[in-house]
Amino acid sequence: MVAVWTVEQTRALLDFVSEDRLYALFHLVVMTGLRRGEVVGLRWEDVDLERGTVRVVRQLQAHRGRGLVEVAPKSAASRRTLMVDHTTVGVLRRHQWRQQQEAEDHGRVWGPGGYVFTAAGGGVLALERLSRMFRKLNTASGLPPVRLHDLRHGAATLALAAGVELKVVQAMLGHASIVLTADTYASVLPQVAREAAERTASLVLRDAGWVRRQVRGRAARRDSVPVPAGPHHGPTTGDPRLSHVQERL
C-alpha cells in the first residue's frame, strides 16, 4: 500500500509552496512522477518548452567520497521522454526566468546548459538536502506526513484516477514492466476500473432512450400496411374471411 495524498491535499501543498524558489520542482514531480535523482539531474538541454517535453537521460546519485555524480537512468525504461501540460510549461518558463535573475543578482552568468534545479548559490542540489527541505515544508503545511518519493506515487495514483491507461502510467514512471506498475498500484486499480466501466456505460447508453424510440418508430412503419381509399369491409383487405386472422394478430 503506497502513501499518497488526495487531490485536495496535493493541491494544498502546491498552494503552500507556490512562492518557494523550488516550487517548479515540486510541481513537476507532482505532475510527472519523476524520481528524486532524475528531477535534480535535469538540465535545461533536456527540456523543450516549445514542444512541452522533458527528457530523462541521467540522474544524480550520491557516492561516498565522490559526492554527487551523474549516472545513467535506473533502467532502459527509465530513459524516457515525458509530455507535460501547458500549465507545467508555464511554471518551468517562470522558473527559468527567476533562475536567470537569481544568477544576475549574484554576479553569475546563467548557463542554458546548466541544471534546471539548483541550490540557492547556483550549485548542485544535494539529494538529502532536498528531502530535508521537503519534510520541513510538509510539516509547516500541516498536511499528513509523506516522503518526497511519495509524490511520485501520488502522480501515478492521480493519473490512474483521472482515467489514464496503465500502460501510459508505466511509461511515465519509467517502469520496466507493467506488472510492477500494476502490483504497486493494485489498491487503486479496482476503483479506476469501476469508474472506467461507468464512463463506458455512460458513453454507450446515454442516448439509449433516443435509440429505442428510433427503433420502435422504424418497426411501426415497417409493420403498417397502407389502406386503399374507398369502402372496405375488413381491417386491411376488405375480405370478411380474413377478419379472424387479424383478430388473432
Residues 165-207 pLDDT 10s: 899 999 999 999 999 888 888 877 777 777 767 777 777 777 6
Taking residue 21's Cβ as centre, other Cβ atoms within 10 Å add up to: 15
Instruction: Quote the pLDDT of residue 49.
Output: 97
d(CA 147, CA 187): 19
Instruction: Quote the pLDDT of residue 110.
Output: 80
115: which DSSP letter?
A: B
Residues 60-107 pLDDT 10s: 998 887 788 999 998 999 999 999 999 999 999 999 999 999 999 888
The model's confidence at residue 242, banded by pLDDT at 50, 70 and 90, is very low
Percent residues over pLDDT 70 in the chain:
80
Instruction: Quote the pLDDT of residue 9.
Output: 93
CATH assignment, 7-188: 1.10.443.10
Closest CA to 242 of 225, 217, 220: 225
Lowest mean pLDDT among 70-79, 157-166, 208-217: 208-217
For 149, the enclosing helix (H) or strand (E) is helix 148-161
Instruction: Quote the pLDDT of residue 241.
Output: 45
Q: What is the mean pLDDT of residues 159-166?
A: 87
Instruction: Quote the pLDDT of residue 208.
Output: 61
Residues 218-238 pLDDT 10s: 666 666 655 555 554 444 444
- The domain locations on the chain are 7-188
Q: Are 148 and 38 in contact (CB under 8 A)?
A: no
